[in-house]
């Protein structure tokens, strides 16, 4: 019987490693023997690996967005006179474009988003119709925790609408109609009197003013003059109400061209631009496409569960956007593959909430 290890087997199993770089970072989890603050715990994510490290990277990128000032850069030869003053340069910050899907406003992330808007941490918002209406509806009635496995037919018979493991009583949408339709009448009368049509963003701004409720994200967007863009404004209960109103009092006009110009110009004129996008679909691509106008975002953080194998933009990683010019080749970017309700509160706690 042979006693020597076969050379080919030994070579295959005991393949020698090349030298490890001095800059390599070893994997290490948090030391729970110590009493860690939330900040210390989240800092440890950077070395845990997998999506924890992606979240750690996202926190770092967002902090870089927040820290950047135009005064960090030398004055370019073709700089506008508007940005020559040292004081103005020190006050000019990175414009952060925040995007999110409607279900996140239905969830408790609404309060996290409200915090960002209330404290002027974002320059612009892009969301979907549900992301608008659910904020106002929550001012009129509660959304409740439920279960993913509730029977749809039974819920329908009881006038309950399920959003994942949340339910919204249909009465809330009836209250929304009662609140919205008189406002539409007034807005139509103003349009007819002035000849000035509404855009989705000016429509949302007006609703933020009318709700006059500090629990509303869009009340604070109105108060702080933060534009909110919704390219698919009619794709939800708002569309239902506008549809009903078009029979009862026709003539109301929403001009989407004004908004695409406003969003693209805001992107183009940004000295530095960052994207934070929760989820996919319209809100993700509309912001990314606006970044193309300025040859790409400088910073980008995606948080979603989408996969790229089906070719969807929702699932695409940042590098795909680099190929389109929507993120700059030298940008700092990351995608966190996670449910935003799990990780976005942690990201905000480690960044914006530190002010």
334 Cβ contact list (under 8 Å, min separation 6): 54, 57, 58, 61, 300, 301, 302, 318
* Distance from C-alpha of 262 to C-alpha of 277, rounded to nearest angstrom: 19
351 Cβ contact list (under 8 Å, min separation 6): 59, 62, 63, 66
Spatial CA neighbour of 56 closest among 47, 69, 64: 47
Structure tokens at 191: 């349009």
Is 130 in contact with 106 (CB distance < 8 Å)?
A: yes
* E strand spans, the chain: 95-100, 124-127, 144-145, 160-163, 166-169, 228-229, 273-278, 297-304, 327-337
Spatial CA neighbour of 332 closest among 341, 345, 342, 319: 319
Residue of 138, 272, 326, 335 with catalytic role: 326
Edge-to-edge, what's the strand order for the sheet holding 144-145? 144-145, 166-169, 160-163
Q: How many CB atoms lie within 10 A of CB 207?
A: 25
272 included as an active-site residue: no
Judged by DSSP in three states, 336 sits in: strand
Give me the phi and psi of 39, to 5 degrees please.
Answer: -60, -45
* Distance from C-alpha of 162 to C-alpha of 15, rounded to nearest angstrom: 55
Is 333 in contact with 300 (CB distance < 8 Å)?
A: yes
Residue 151 CA, chain-centre distance (Å), reads: 31
Residues involved in catalysis: 326
């Amino acid at each position: 019987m042979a006693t020597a290890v076969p050379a080919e087997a030994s070579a295959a199993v005991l393949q020698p490693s090349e030298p490890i770089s001095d800059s390599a970072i070893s994997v290490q989890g948090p030391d729970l023997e110590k009493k860690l603050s939330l900040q210390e715990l989240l800092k440890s994510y950077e070395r845990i690996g997998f999506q924890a490290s992606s979240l750690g990277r996202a926190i770092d990128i967002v902090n870089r967005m927040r820290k950047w000032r135009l005064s960090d850069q030398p004055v370019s030869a073709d700089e506008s006179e508007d940005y020559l003053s040292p004081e103005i340069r020190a006050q000019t910050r990175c414009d952060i474009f925040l995007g999110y899907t409607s279900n996140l406003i239905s969830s408790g992330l609404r309060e996290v988003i409200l915090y960002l808007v209330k404290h002027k941490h974002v320059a612009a918002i892009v969301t979907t119709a549900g992301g608008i209406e659910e904020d106002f509806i929550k001012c009129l009635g509660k959304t409740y925790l439920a279960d993913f496995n509730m029977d749809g037919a039974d819920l329908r018979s009881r006038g309950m609408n399920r959003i994942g493991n949340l339910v919204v009583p249909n009465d809330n949408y009836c209250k929304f109609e009662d609140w919205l339709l008189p406002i539409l009448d007034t807005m139509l009368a103003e349009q007819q009197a002035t000849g000035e049509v509404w855009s989705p963003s000016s429509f949302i701004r007006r609703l933020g003013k009318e709700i006059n409720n500090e629990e509303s994200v869009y009340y604070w967007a109105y108060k702080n003059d933060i534009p909110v863009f919704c390219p698919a404004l009619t794709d939800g209960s708002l569309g239902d109400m506008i549809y009903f109103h078009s029979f009862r009092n026709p003539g109301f006009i929403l001009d989407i061209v004004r908004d695409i110009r406003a969003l693209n110009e805001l992107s183009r004129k940004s000295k530095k631009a960052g994207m934070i996008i929760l989820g996919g679909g319209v809100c993700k691509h509309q912001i990314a496409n606006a970044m193309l106008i300025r040859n790409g975002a400088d910073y980008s953080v995606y948080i979603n569960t989408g996969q790229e194998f089906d070719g969807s933009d929702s699932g695409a990683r940042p590098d795909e956007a680099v190929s389109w010019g929507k993120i700059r080749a030298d940008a700092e970017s990351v995608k966190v593959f996670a449910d935003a309700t799990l990780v976005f509160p942690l990201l905000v706690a480690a960044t914006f909430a530190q002010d």
